C-alpha cells in the first residue's frame, strides 16, 4: 500500500495558485497542492456524516457541520473543545469568524457562476475558488489567493473551511437535482 506524501509547510511554497484534488471516493478526501507540493489534506471520517479532519504540516483540525435550522460549521484544534473558527451558513452568503482573528465573508461569486469567494469584511477578495467536475463528480478545485491573503497566518484554515462548505454544498445540490444526461440510468417503460 502506498503511503501519502509528507505535507510541505505553507510558508515554504507559493500559495497564490493552489489546487484541490479528490484523492478518495469513499470516504471522500481531497489534497491541497501548491505546484507539486501537497500542503494539506481534508478527509471525511465516514461516508455519511459531516465530521472531517484537516491536516497540514502543523497538525490537524476537525471540522463539523452542526445545527439544522441555523447550520454552522465549527473548527476545533486537537482535543480542545473550544471552536477556533466558525462558519455561519446562510442561503446566499456565509460568514467565517475566527476565534483569534478577523471575520470574512464567504459567498458564491455569482448566480450563474460556480465559483466561490472569500473576502474581508471590507469586501476585498482574498480567495477565489472554482470547483472542477468530471461528469457529475466533484474532482477538485482551483484556488487563486490574493498576494496579501497568501501571507495571512489564517490562510490554511480559510482554505479548509471554504472547501469543506463547498464540498457539502456540492453534494446537497447534487441530491436535489435529478440525474439527467447521456450517463443517466435507463428509466423503466410503463
User: Domain extents for the chain?
Assistant: 10-172
Q: Averaged over 125-134, what is the pLDDT?
A: 95
- pLDDT of 130 reads 96
Q: What is the pLDDT of residues 32-69, one digit of tens each?
A: 999 999 999 999 999 888 999 999 999 999 999 998 87
Task: Report the alpha-carbon distance of residue 44 to residue 53 in Å, rounded.
Answer: 6
Long-range contacts of 83-89 (CB under 8 A, 24+ apart): 84/157, 85/157, 85/161, 87/161, 87/165, 89/65, 89/165
Name the residue with higher pLDDT: 149 or 181. Answer: 149
User: What CATH number does the domain located at 10-172 have?
Assistant: 2.40.160
Task: Report the alpha-carbon distance of residue 19 to residue 71 in Å, rounded.
Answer: 27
Q: What is the pLDDT of residues 84-107, one digit of tens each?
A: 999 998 877 899 999 999 999 999
Residue pair 88/94 in contact (Cβ under 8 Å)? The answer is yes
End-to-end Cα, the chain, rounded Å = 48
Dihedral of CA atoms 43, 96, 120, 169 in degrees, nearest 10, equals 60
Task: Report the alpha-carbon distance of residue 71 to residue 150 in Å, rounded.
Answer: 28
Q: Using alpha carbons, select from 160, 153, 185 the residue that is nearest to residue 53.
A: 160
What's the predicted TM-score (pTM) here? 0.88
Which range has the worst mean pLDDT, 19-28, 61-70, 95-104, 166-175?
A: 166-175
- Dihedral over Cα of 78, 37, 130, 119: its sign: positive
CA 137 to chain centre: 15
- Dihedral over Cα of 121, 125, 127, 131: its sign: positive
Task: Report the alpha-carbon distance of residue 13 to residue 162 in Å, rounded.
Answer: 20
Amino acid at each position: 500500500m502506498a503511503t501519502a506524501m509528507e505535507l510541505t509547510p505553507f510558508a515554504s511554497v507559493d500559495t497564490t495558485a493552489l489546487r484541490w484534488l479528490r484523492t478518495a471516493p469513499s470516504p471522500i478526501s481531497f489534497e491541497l497542492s501548491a505546484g507539486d507540493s501537497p500542503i494539506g489534506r481534508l478527509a471525511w471520517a465516514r461516508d455519511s456524516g459531516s465530521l472531517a479532519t484537516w491536516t497540514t504540516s502543523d497538525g490537524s483540525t476537525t471540522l463539523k457541520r452542526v445545527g439544522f435550522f441555523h447550520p454552522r460549521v465549527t473548527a476545533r484544534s486537537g482535543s480542545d473543545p473550544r471552536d477556533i473558527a466558525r462558519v455561519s451558513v446562510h442561503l446566499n452568503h456565509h460568514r467565517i469568524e475566527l476565534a483569534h482573528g478577523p471575520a470574512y465573508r464567504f459567498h458564491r461569486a455569482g448566480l450563474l457562476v460556480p465559483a466561490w469567494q472569500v473576502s474581508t469584511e471590507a469586501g476585498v477578495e482574498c480567495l477565489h475558488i472554482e470547483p472542477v467536475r468530471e461528469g457529475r463528480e466533484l474532482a477538485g478545485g482551483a484556488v487563486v489567493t490574493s498576494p496579501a491573503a497568501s501571507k495571512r497566518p489564517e490562510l490554511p484554515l480559510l482554505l479548509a473551511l471554504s472547501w469543506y462548505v463547498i464540498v457539502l454544498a456540492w453534494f446537497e445540490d447534487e441530491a436535489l437535482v435529478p440525474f439527467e444526461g447521456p450517463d443517466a440510468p435507463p428509466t423503466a417503460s410503463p
